[in-house]
Amino acid sequence: MRKTILSLSVAAALAVPGLSAIAQTAAPAAAPAAAPEPSPLTGNFGLFSQYIFRGISQTGGKPAIQGGVDYAHSSGLYVGTWLSNVSWLSDFGIARESSLEWDMYGGYKGTFGKSDFGYDVGVLQYYYPGLRAPGATTANTRELYGALSWKWLSAKLSRSMTEKTFAVPESKGSWYLDFTATVPVTDSISVVGHYGIQKYKGHSGFCAAAGGGTLNDDCASYKDWKVGASYALPQSWTLGGYLTGTRMSTTQKTNYTANGRELGSTVLTAYIQKTF
C-alpha cells in the first residue's frame, strides 16, 4: 500500500538562427520521478513454527499464525493491533475456550534532533478473549513501555500496570528489560541478538516452592536470550529463524512446565513473514 506521485516535465524549444535554416533544439530529459511517499498504514502476516514470547513458548511448541496492522502519523504518534494463536491458557488450565492473544497498543516515537538516537513510549494491552475456567484469574495485562535506540541497538523497559493477572493477584510493578541488537550484514541479511530480564512482583500460589509467598528470583523471575538471522526475499517476504532459551532455577523450570513440556527450554523457531 504505497502512494505514488509522478512528476513529469517536458520542454521543447525552437531556435531560428537565420532566414536560410530552421533548427530544432533537443528537448531536455524528463525530470526524475519523485520518490513515493511512505504509507502511514502498514501490515504484516507470518507463519511461525511456534510463538516464543520473552523466552517462553506460548503455543506449547506448536505452529502459530500471526499478523497485525499499524498506523503511524507523521507527528510520531502511532497505534496498532496484533494477533496470534496461543495454547498456554488451556495448557495451564486457565481457560476452557481461549486460544487467541489480541494486542492493542499506541504511543509516540521520534529522534533526538537529527541524530541516530531515538525514543519510543507507549502503552500495550494484552487481551485474551474466551471462556475462563471457574475461579481462574484473567490473563489480560496492561503495560507501559519506554525505549531508547541507536541505529541497530535498542533498550526497552516494560512495566505492568495491572493489579490482577493469571496466578499473580498483585502483579502491578512487575517489569521486563529488553536489550536487542539487529545488525544488517548485507542488503538482504540481518542478524539479531537479544537478552531479557523478567522480574515479577506480588504474591501468588504460582510460587509452589515459596508456599504462595512473594514472587522472587527463585520463583517466577528469570532471564532469556535469543540469537538469529533473517533473509529478505522479493515482494517484501522475509525468511528467518532464531534460537531462544532461558536461565532458570529448578523451581522456575517447574513453574513454567505444562503438559510435561518445559516452556522455557532452548528451542529453534523458523518463520516466513510478509510485510505490506
Mean pLDDT lowest among 46-50, 144-148, 207-211, 217-221? 207-211
Q: Which of 43, 44, 53 is nearest to 269 (CA)?
A: 53
Q: Which residues contact 163 (CB under 8 A, 6 or more apart)?
A: 169, 170, 171, 172
Spans of all domains in the chain: 40-275
Q: Which of 43, 50, 58 is nearest to 271 (CA)?
A: 50
Mean pLDDT lowest among 30-34, 81-85, 128-132? 30-34
| Angle of CA points 226, 158, 121, to nearest 5° | 110
pLDDT digits (tens, 9 = 90+) for 126-145: 999 988 888 777 889 999 99
Phi, psi of 49 (to 5 degrees): -70, -20
Q: Name which residue leads in pLDDT, 18 or 135.
A: 135
Phi, psi of 103 (to 5 degrees): -100, 140
Question: Percent of the chain scored above 90 by pLDDT?
Answer: 62
Question: Would you call 59 exposed, middle or buried from its count of C-beta atoms within 10 A (0-12, 13-18, 19+)?
Answer: buried
Topology (CATH) of 40-275:
Porin (2.40.160)
Report the C-alpha gap between 103 and 92 in whole angstroms. 20
